[in-house]
Amino acid sequence: MHSSDSLKQAWREEYKQKGIPSSFRKEPSKPLVEFVEWLKRYPTLRFAAEMGCGQGRNSFYLASQGFTVTSIDLVDENVATINQIAKLNHLPIQAIASDVSQPWPVKSQAFDIVIDIFCYKHIVDKDKQTRYRQELRRTLKPEGFYFISLASDQDGFYGPLLEASSKPQHKQIIDPYSHIRSFLYSPEDLTNEFSDSFKIISISEQNSVSPMHGKEYSRCVINAIFQKRK
């Protein structure tokens, strides 16, 4: 299992190698764009957070759509770059260097929405995932929304890696290129994992073709909207 420092270094290397799409793409995640469009039915929502923000493509998009954004990432360099760009462009973004599997350095009920694009799946300790969900509940406002996007166990790149899993009961896999661990999910797995504190609004699997480590793969991603229970 990665320590926080070794995981941070593994991600630094990944951002240099640019093997996974989030390491090099500048445009926001398409599922996030669709989620923000869906949110237009709630025009008073203004305060957003992104967990595992990477180099900020999704946080910048949220800011462009009128949200005040708190962005959290493990890699200090990512955080410094986001804050620099936000300052230069007068964007309402504050990036914080922190481990999202530890207590979040933000006040309770601070956010209308929290988004997570391929971050939660990389917390490969079930107790730490529980802590994440507790922090999510603590920091979301009453009836706030959580949007999560992650790889399905049917994904064309990650799915076949389950055959070599050391923890198949948790669907844990290791990326053979970056050596970063993660969990895979089915829609049922994900719904059950969040059902204690959140109700499901929508969940679906989205299929596409995209590059991973220089090759094209059939991808299968789960996108879900949850709402904090009263």
- CB burial of residue 158 (10 Å; 0-12, 13-18, 19+): buried
Q: How far apart are CA 122 and CA 11, in angstroms?
A: 11
In contact, 59 and 38? CB cutoff 8 Å: no
**DSSP class of residue 97?**
E
Question: What distances in angstroms separate CA 83 from CA 46, 96, 101, one per listed residue?
Answer: 19, 9, 22
Question: What distances in angstroms separate CA 164 from CA 52, 97, 125, 173, one per listed residue?
Answer: 26, 33, 18, 8
The C-alpha angle with vertex 30 and arms to 200 and 126, in degrees rounded to 5, equals 45
What digits encode the pLDDT tens for the residues 125-179?
999 999 999 999 999 999 999 999 999 999 999 999 999 998 888 999 999 999 9
- In this model, does residue 198 exceed pLDDT 60? yes
pTM here? 0.94
Q: Which token pair is 47?
A: 């305060």
- Whole-number pLDDT of residue 208: 95
DSSP-H helix ranges across 99-186: 126-139
Q: How far apart are CA 105 and CA 142, in angstroms?
A: 19
- In this model, does residue 68 exceed pLDDT 80? yes
Strands of 77-139 (E only): list them: 93-97, 111-117
Q: What values do phi and psi take at 218, rounded to 5?
A: -75, 125
- Whole-number pLDDT of residue 1: 44
- Whole-number pLDDT of residue 24: 66
CB count in 10 Å sphere of residue 150: 22
Q: From the centroid of its chain, how far is CA 116?
A: 3
Q: Among candidates 120, 62, 113, 55, which has minimal Cα distance to 91?
A: 62
- Whole-number pLDDT of residue 20: 73
Q: How far apart are CA 104 and CA 139, in angstroms?
A: 8
